[in-house]
Structure 1
């Protein structure tokens, strides 16, 4: 039987004001969802519109083509950013606080549901999922640097939904993204609704992979792979783990 995945799983989606190939685009909206990796259940949500000018002042970039696209396709999102009172640094601090609260609540749940279990610290990390290995997580890295803040999760805890879907396709032969894309609940390019859609990709792929083993649950990797030798600085999320007595 496979190990229980007790990590804190977060789905992330950003709306940006520059071409997605740029590593440091202005971020106009952050959406994040703490979810149950086994079921896809939404546990907590985070959404914030960031003042566009504050991003530019911090050194993040825009381009005219993307701004025109936003104005045409999601004018409300662009307007919300232009009129937002929340500067980039404040938005990122709020995200960090929210991530810490998700991690803490997950630890409480673990201690309640598995009172006799002892987990290695690497089993309890915050894992950040996004759609694309070189997009949202990389943009967040640039944003935290621009705001002179420390990103509250480690680089090796960035996970890619697109890669997971491709792996599921190569193993099962099913194009699960195409199946899921037949229906979109909510509004496209709304960060929270996009997060929910990405969670659906992930859970459908997991179900398909599990189906290959009948009733058995497909093993889930617990903790970062081959990272035991990496010496990492403590983060606010580690501090929460210590306070909960789970180190």
Structure 2
């Protein structure tokens, strides 16, 4: 598939913050076809051992979210390095030309920081990131709701659906 949507849930808003979960889905923005999914929850203690940090304000924000969202976000029992290695393999296997996030200046930057903390290379080319929030603004598209808000995979699917709708507004020449 040509497109890859990535979403993360974190314990901070700055590069170097703990990542709780990563969700991703391949899709084709022109045809609307969906492909392979990725979802993994990370043990926050393993992330702090890797040097990632926790922000108290973000923890407070999580306390205000739904029980379903918290249960999903804090269910991680996997080590951060193992999840990032598996995610890197997934990303490389997709061969996506466009790596989407809402926005890349958050999700992708925080993941890149986690890769760096774990001594790993970022698995996408620096020219690949795309911002679906900008696309939604330009086309007047509203992202649909899918599943549980703040579940990384559900949010990735919803964002991908929004990109597909936005591309549809451009017509067949997109």
Q: Normalized against structure 2, the TM-score is what? A: 0.90
SS in 1 for 2:120: coil
C-alpha RMSD over aligned residues: 1.7
The CA deviation at 1:79 is 3.0
1:130 aligns with 2:93: no
Question: Deviation string for 1:66-122 (max 9, x for gaps)?
Answer: 1132234132034303xx1x111110100111123323xxxxxxxxxxxxxxxxxxx
The structure with the larger Rg is: 1
> What are the equivalent positions in structure 2 for 1:86-101 lying under 5 Å apart?
86-101=78-93
Residue among 72, 77, 95 paired with 2:72: 77
Q: Deviations over 1:184-223 (max 9, x none)?
A: 231111111101110121111111121xxxxxx224xxxx
Per the TM alignment, residue 153 of structure 1 is displaced from its structure 2 partner at its CA by 1.1
- State the partner residue of 1:37: 29
| SS of alignment partner, residue 5 of structure 2 | strand
Cα distance in 1 for partners of 2:97, 2:84 equals 16
Secondary structure, aligned partner of 2:127:
helix
Deviation at 1:43, TM superposition (A): 0.7
CA contact 1:185–1:193 (8 Å) conserved in 2: yes
> 2:7: which partner in 1?
13
CA contact (8 A) 2:25 2:156 kept: yes
Question: 2 CA distance for matches of 1:31 and 1:145?
Answer: 19
Is the counterpart of residue 141 in structure 1 residue 133 in structure 2?
Answer: no
The 4+ residue runs of structure 1 with deviation greater than 3 A are none
Alignment gaps of 5+ in structure 2: none
SS at match of 1:193: helix
Structure 2 counterpart of 1:106 = none
Structure with greater strand percent:
2
**C-alpha contact (below 8 Å) 1:9/1:36 kept by paired residues:** yes
Kindly report which structure 2 residues correspond to 1:160-175, keeping only aligned pairs within 5 A, or say none. Answer: 160-168=131-139, 175=140
Q: How does 1:97-246 map to 2 (within 5 A)?
A: 97-103=89-95, 126-168=97-139, 175-177=140-142, 180-181=143-144, 184-210=145-171, 217-219=172-174
How many residues align structurally?
A: 171
Structure 2 distance, partners of 1:126, 1:144, is: 20
